[in-house]
Each structure stands twice: as structure tokens, then as C-alpha cells.
Chain A
Amino acid sequence: MFNRKKSKQSSTQQTDKDEGVHGVSEVRDLFNTLSSSYDFINHQGTYNGVGYWVSYYRSLIDAQELHKSVLSVIPSLEKINLGQMRESIPIEDTLITSTRTVIEDRIMRGHIAIRLDANLDECLLINVVAQHGRQVDKPELEFGIISPQEAFVEDIDINLNLVRKRLPVPSLQVTELTVGTLSKTKVAVLAIEGIVDKENVDTVVKRISEIDFDEILDGSHLAQMLYDDTNTLFPLFLYTERPDRIASALAEGKVAMIVDRSSSALIAPTILLEYFITMEDYNMPWVPASAFRLLRIFAVIFSIFATPLYVAVLTYHYELIPKDLLETIVTSRNLIPFQPLIEALFLEISIELLREAAARLPTKVGQTLGIVGGIVIGQAAVVAGLTSNILLIIVALSALASFVTPIYKMGNAIRLLRFPFLVGAQIWGLLGITISAVFLMTHLIKLTSMGHPYLEPIYPFHIKDWKDSFVRLPFTFFKSRPVNLRTEDTTRQSKPKKSKRKTNDFNE
């Protein structure tokens, strides 16, 4: 088989030598097949008595470029042959070949094929692919107030450019692979050589090339096929639309994957705590950064456990509540005909409905949803005596708390995690919650991302990696790269601190 990557590199010097005797009719056959589609154009022209064919998909190519750089060049030639044309046409990605698979592949990627009447089997392929797509825009899912306002778009080259601009070093290596028998999606695997553990890159490349699926639509679609364990709620690869996150992950020694036609890139291997990190944490002084990170982790715990605790305590252990507080709760609940679980499920499910509806509705209609959901349904449910005020507060807070996760997919996991805990709370109260928690703990311990433990640095316990986990310590502590990544080069700052910034009489 012909290696595409190599052929691209050497295309300028070498015409393809693979043409076999049997390939002759194949090329014509290919063009006959392609012509059956209505957007495939076979343009016939004659110049100096030599007939030539220009064939392409009009939906794939840039017509202006075709006119300007190809069709207008042909009349200026003295002699018509493919080699001559190739030299005069001001486009560098060209190839002369008569191998069917190469021709087919390239035409499908927006090349035009020029053939001469004299030899209809030999093609000059010229890249005039149309570059449609949106401009680099602000991040929508991972918006940051004090961080760069650039996000990935759907084009792999623009995305690579966004990353390369942040890491202008030759050691940033890109390996390109193609997956999907139908979609032929390009996947670029990025890693900084000399830092990254080669084994990680090899595993990623191996797993990607092992994929046998017809259509890869998006990065997260691909990610699920690369997971170590598919039966999990948790995202094992971090799915981000921020180029700065990719750049920092690469600098730490991780592997990034950029998928064509996907506005997000993937990072692997990841750890659980990474999903509660925003890039803003690095742009703020370490104290607020750590405080907000702790707040986020608290929010997640609250969001998972608040409603189950309410159900557990009010169903089985109301003795836990002191007398004065119990009075408040009893007054708020005395007209409610249901047990706490029904009450909680009613509210939780309506919040989930609102959330799902808000995600599906067009933005303009969506605005009314907040009013309908928040005020009308919530207040009405309380007035109608279906739920208690206290539970309404708890559910609303825990819904709010689940939005603080910077990575949307982790938010989804947390959204769902609450329900098994609710069931546990209903069955055995606090004990049920504890048992569910041990199940969750076990699951997290067992999870691995590209073979690296997911719960690191908690277990396996690596004190060195705590500098950037629950808290973000000052950058003077960032002397080494994360231990669990087993990077080749572990030092992040070689020299010790230079001069003292501040001196006063006290320090003298």
C-alpha cells in the first residue's frame, strides 16, 4: 500500500512508479464511477490541438482558485504535458500518478485531476480544496475571564496552528492518522519529544490505528473508543476547546489529539482532579486560585450528596436533627403527602428536564425557560404542597453546584451520580450512602486513563503531585512535572530563584 504521508512529502520530485499494467483500465473505471455523481465535473478543453480533461467535485474545490491558478495557466504554456503543467501551476501540493487508490483518495479530499487525451490513465493531481469554516472564536463551554479568548474551530490545520503558536519548538511532534472507513477522519497526535513518555504516544497511536469503525464524528466520539474502560460515567480523556489547555498539557508531558471536523481536542492521560481545574487557576495568584479550586471540589461533593442526605435523614434518621431545626423542617414538610424520595425525585427530575430542555432549545426561546423553570414550577410545586421549601433550596443549590465543573462532561457525570446515591439513601439511609460511596471509591481506584491511575495523586499517593491538585501552590513549587506521567525530562525550572525581589531592613 502507498503511504499517504510519505507521498505528500516526496510528491514534488517523484512521479509514482507503482503503476502496473493492470492499473490502466482501473483509472478510467474510477472516473466513470465518479462521474455518476452530479457534482462531479469533467471539463474538456483543447489547447494547441491537445485535448485535456479537468475532473473534480465542484462541491469540494475552490472554484476561484481553479480559475486563477490552473485554468488560466494552461493557455500560457508552450507545450502541453503533465510535467510542464505541474511546474507552471503555482500550487505546491501536486502529484502525477496513475494509481487508482491515490487518485480516488486525493480527489475526495478536494484535488482536481488533469488528464491528457494521449494518456487517460495518468493524472496530475492539484490541491485546490475549498477552505470553508468559521473563524477562530471565543470559547463557549470553557469560558475564562482572565485567560486567552481563543477556542478551537473545526479545521485541523487551524487548530494545529493555534497549538504550535503557543509551543514554537521543533520538538513538538505531530503524527497524523486516518480513522473511519467512511469518514476518513484525520487525527493528529501531538506530543513534545524529550518530555513525553514515549510509551504514552505509542499507546495512543496504537489504539487509534486499532479502531475499526465506519464513522468518527467528533473528538469525544473517538475518545470513547480509546478509553481503557468504557463502562464508566467519568470522562477518561479530557475534552477541551482551549488551545492553552492543550499547550499546558503538552508541556506537562501529556499527549494531545486533535481531530479534524471537531472543535475540541483531547488530552490523555488525565486524572480526576484535572477536571476541576480551569486555566484561570494559573492566571490568578495562588491563594484565590486554590480557594476557588477547593470551592469547586466542595461544590461537586455537595451536589452529589446533598439530596441523598436529605432523603436519608428525613426517611430514617430524623433523630439526627436537633429539636429546633426539626421544627422548621417539620413545618415545611407537614402538608406534603409523599415520602422524601418521591419529593426529591420530583424536583431532581424537573431540574434535569429544565437543563435538558435548555440545552436543546434555541437561545431566544431558552431565556423564557429559566423563568418558567425557576420561578413558576419551583414556586408552584411548593405552594401545591408537592415539595418542601427546604428541599427546593437544596436541589437548586446542588444543581447550581454541578455547573461549576469547568469540563462539561464531568458535569454530566456528576449530574447522573446523584441518582444511585438517592437510591442508596432510600434503601438504607446513611449506610446506603456510605456503601454507594465505597462503590464509587472502588470504581475510581480501578479506573485508568491510558493505563495511568485516575485517582492519582490521592491513590497512588504521590505527595509531589499535590502541588497542583486540590490546591495550586505558587509556581516556585512547580519544579517537576507530574510523577504519574513518568516524563523523560522531569524538570520544569532548572535554576533556583535568582535575586530576592524585596528587601527591607527586616531581611538584612
Chain B
Amino acid sequence: MNQTDVNEKYMVAPFYVFFLVHSMQTGIGVLSFQRILAKSTGTDGWISILLAGLIVHSLIWVIYKIFSMVPGDILSVNHHAFGKWGGNLFSLLFIAYFLVLGSTVMVSYIQIIHVWMFEEVPAWSFSLVFLILIYYINTGGFRTITGIAFLSVMMTFWLAFVLFYAMKYSEFTNLLPVFDHSLLDIWTGTKHSALSMIGFELILMFYPFIKDAKASQKYAHGGALTTTLITVIVYLVSLVFYSQNQLVLNIWPTLTMTSIVELAFIQRFEYIYVSWWAIVIIPNITISLWAASRGFKRLFNVQQKYPLWGMSLIILIINIFFFDVDSLNILEKIINPYGVLFLVSYLPLLLVIIYIKKKRNRL
């Protein structure tokens, strides 16, 4: 565990945490979260999103609290809290989680490409190109990854404004009634909107790469806040654009909304939207795979390229043998209940354990 220290040359300024968190949170979720949310919470879905945002903020606070006591990354914290074997076990779980996260994002995006643009192109060819690109980005080290995340946020921010075009056809009474759902419904909605919120937990891996890391907490909160607000806006726009019954039938409401944009020289905007979304997706997968391979590197003391190769190969094989896995299903069935539950329960637990250990050491 002696590689926790990161050379200052490889570190990034604290404000990039905003972009890292925000770009990692924005991904597949924001294109498709409306349907399930509308099913459970309907017009009150925005409350669920705000609640989810609140939980994200408190988890970010927990993460920074943990690191203020045990500096390093999640691997060293696990080691500190559970000793060698227990710590490594949890670290392996995290590595697996990051890998699954990265690969599901890629599979979902490829599925979107299949549905919206190219039906017949085999998934493995897309994933091969993405993996080469991701490997290329990874060879530039964490600074390059941050750069890609930063530029990705900068270059894709305007996509949010495209949705305002849909306001032309909006029916504001769709927003009503407010506070129509029980607390239980809202809680279910919160669970359902979790998919568009996860991604902040990557701080657990890249924390040691932040210069003056403690100062970066406000940027992390800022990134999460931006995501929450964008998600709320997207949900509200979808609510006023679609009727409830339409919304629960639409798998990708955000994309469908963009297809009505019509300018003098361009129409069917969703082609541009889907292609441009690659810029959002690539940092997403890159950071996940980087985190997974870096965890592997730290755990087993190997060069990072070997686990990265291995993981790329696994993802490629998944894409070769399973044409169009129902990835949304995977997301909902695996990542959402178990992954999110793991995060939400494990992080506070970790904080408590570390806190107790510290207290005991002092006494």
C-alpha cells in the first residue's frame, strides 16, 4: 500500500472535481429515467429527484469526512478499516462495481445507437472502437482523463438547452396535481432516479489525484447540485411535453423530445443528439474503467495497462456474444438495487468504523 502517494505532477486542480463528478453522473440515466419515475411517482417525481440529490450530497459529505480521517483512496480506507483480508475483499467489490458500471454504460449506449441510428452494425465493432479510444485516453494518465471530462461537460452543456425547444409544445397543466403521492411513492421514485445520480462515488478512487483535495469538497457538491437541477429540469420538461400515459410508455423520453426540433437547415435533431452523446458517454466509461484498473493495480501491484487490457477484453467479449443485452434491465435489476444499496449503506458504515477506530486509538 505504498503507492497511495501520487506525484504532484499528475494531480489536477480542485475545481475539476466539479466536472469529474458532473460528467460521471450524467450518462445513460438522464436519457431514460423519466419512464420508471413517472410510473411510480408521476407529477411528484421532481420531489424524488431532489430527495435523491440530497442523499447524494450527504454521501459526498461522508466521503470527504472519511478521507479527512484516512487520506488516500477507498482501497487504503478499506485496508485501514477491515485489515488486510477484509479490506481487500471490499476493494475487490468496488473494482467489480466500477467494471460493471463502465460496461453497462457502454452496453446501454450501444443499444441506443442500435435503436436510433444503426440497426445492423454489430455491437462488438462499436465497443472495439470505444475501447481503443478509452485505452488511448487512459494512456495519458489521470490529467488527460480529467481533460476529457472537462471538455465533455463544456461541449455538451448546450444539449440541455435543446430541450427548451420542446417547451413550444408544452402543456403546463400536466404538472398538476402536486403533492399527490404518498411518501412511500416518493421514496420508490427516489430509488428509481438513483440511476441518473450515481457516479459521484468515483471520488473514492480519484481523491488522491486532487491537489489540495480538501478544498475540492465544494466543487464536488457543486457538480452533484448541477446534476440534480438538470435532472429536475429534464423531468419537468418531459412532464409538460408528454402526457402521463405517453411518458410511461417511452423508453428514451429525452431523445424523443429532441426529434421534434426543426430549424431551417436541420430537422430530426435526435441524430445529432445521439452522436453528440458519445462525448458524454466516453468520459463516463473511461473514468469507470480507469478506477477499476487503478484499483486492480493498487491491489495486486501490477502495471495499470494489464488490468485495463483484461477488462477491455471482458467488455469486448460481452459485446461479441450478447447482441443487445437488455442493458436497461441490467441497470435496473443489478446496479440499481444492489449497487446503490451497497454504496448507500457501506459508506456511512465505513465512516462509523473509522471514527470508532480513531477514537479508540486516541484513548
Chain A residues engaging chain B, CB cutoff 8 angstroms: 316-317, 319-322, 325, 428-431, 433-435, 437-439, 441-442, 445-446, 455, 458-461
Contact = CB atoms under 8 A, between A and B. Distances in A.
Interface string B67-107: 00000000000000000000000000000000000000000
A445 B275 CA distance: 21
B181 interface: no
A390 to B, nearest CB: 12
A322 B146 CA distance: 38
A173 B294 CA distance: 46
A321, A438, A446, A460 interface centre (most CB from chain B within 10 Å)? A438
B150 A461 contact: yes
B140 A445 contact: yes
A316, A320, A321, A433 interface centre (most CB from chain B within 10 Å)? A320
B121 to A, nearest CB: 7
A321 B266 contact: yes
B267 A321 contact: yes
B113 interface: yes
Given A431-B278, A434-B275, A459-B150, A439 B117 contact: no
B75 to A, nearest CB: 27
Contacts of A435: 129-130, 133, 278
Interface in B247-276: 262-268, 271-272, 274-276
30 contacts: A316-B117, A316-B118, A319-B268, A319-B271, A320-B266, A322-B262, A322-B264, A322-B266, A322-B267, A325-B264, A325-B265, A428-B118, A429-B271, A431-B113, A431-B118, A431-B274, A431-B275, A435-B129, A437-B279, A438-B133, A442-B133, A442-B136, A442-B137, A442-B140, A442-B147, A445-B147, A459-B150, A459-B151, A461-B15, A461-B150
Contact of A434 (B137, B151, B268, B278): B278
B31 interface: no
A-B complex: 9 closest residue pairs judged by Cβ atoms: A430-B275, A445-B147, A459-B147, A446-B140, A431-B275, A319-B268, A434-B278, A434-B275, A317-B271
A460 B144 CA distance: 10
Contacts of A461: 15, 150
B56 interface: no
Nearest to B130: A435
Interface of B: 13, 15, 113, 117-118, 121, 129-130, 133, 136-137, 140, 143-144, 147-148, 150-151, 262-268, 271-272, 274-276, 278-279, 282
B148 A441 contact: yes
B232 to A, nearest CB: 27
A438 B15 CA distance: 22
A146 B266 CA distance: 41
Given A319-B268, A320-B266, A458-B151, A428 B121 contact: yes
Contact of B151 (A428, A431, A439, A441): A441
A274 B129 CA distance: 32
Nearest to B264: A322
B279 A438 contact: yes
B110 to A, nearest CB: 11
Contacts of A439: 133, 136
Contacts of A459: 147, 150-151
Given A322-B262, A442-B136, A317 B268 contact: yes
B353 to A, nearest CB: 37
A433 B265 CA distance: 19
A461 B263 CA distance: 33
Contacts of B276: 430, 434
A461 B151 CA distance: 10
A438 B150 contact: no
A351 to B, nearest CB: 24
Given A428-B118, A431-B275, A441-B151, A320 B140 contact: no
A320 B117 contact: no
Nearest to B267: A322
A316, A320, A431 interface centre (most CB from chain B within 10 Å)? A431
B268 to A, nearest CB: 5
Contacts of A458: 151
B272 A430 contact: yes
Nearest to A317: B271
A439 B147 CA distance: 12
A435 B274 CA distance: 12
A47 B329 CA distance: 106
Contacts of A446: 140, 144
A319 B264 CA distance: 13
A442 B148 contact: yes
A435 B262 CA distance: 25
A446 B262 CA distance: 38
A51 to B, nearest CB: 67
Contacts of A441: 147-148, 151
Contacts of B263: 322
A459 B36 CA distance: 38
Contacts of A317: 268, 271
B13, B129, B148 interface centre (most CB from chain A within 10 Å)? B129
A320 B271 contact: yes
A42 B151 CA distance: 69
A461 B278 CA distance: 23
A460 B278 contact: no
A457 to B, nearest CB: 12
Contacts of B151: 441, 445, 458-459
A317, A321, A441 interface centre (most CB from chain B within 10 Å)? A441
Contacts of B148: 438, 441-442, 445
Contacts of A442: 133, 136-137, 140, 144, 147-148
A320 to B, nearest CB: 5
B275 to A, nearest CB: 4
Nearest to A322: B267
Contact of B267 (A319, A433, A437): A319
Contacts of A320: 266-268, 271-272
Nearest to A326: B267
A455 to B, nearest CB: 7
A460 B266 CA distance: 34
A168 to B, nearest CB: 38
Nearest to B146: A459
A460 B267 CA distance: 36
A325 B262 CA distance: 13
A430 B133 CA distance: 17
Contacts of A431: 113, 117-118, 274-275, 278
A455 B151 CA distance: 11
A429 B275 CA distance: 9
A433 B275 CA distance: 8
A438 B272 contact: no
A316 B118 CA distance: 9
B267, B272, B275 interface centre (most CB from chain A within 10 Å)? B275
Contacts of B121: 428
Nearest to A451: B9
Contacts of B274: 431
Nearest to A312: B275
Contacts of B133: 435, 438-439, 442
A321 B271 CA distance: 11
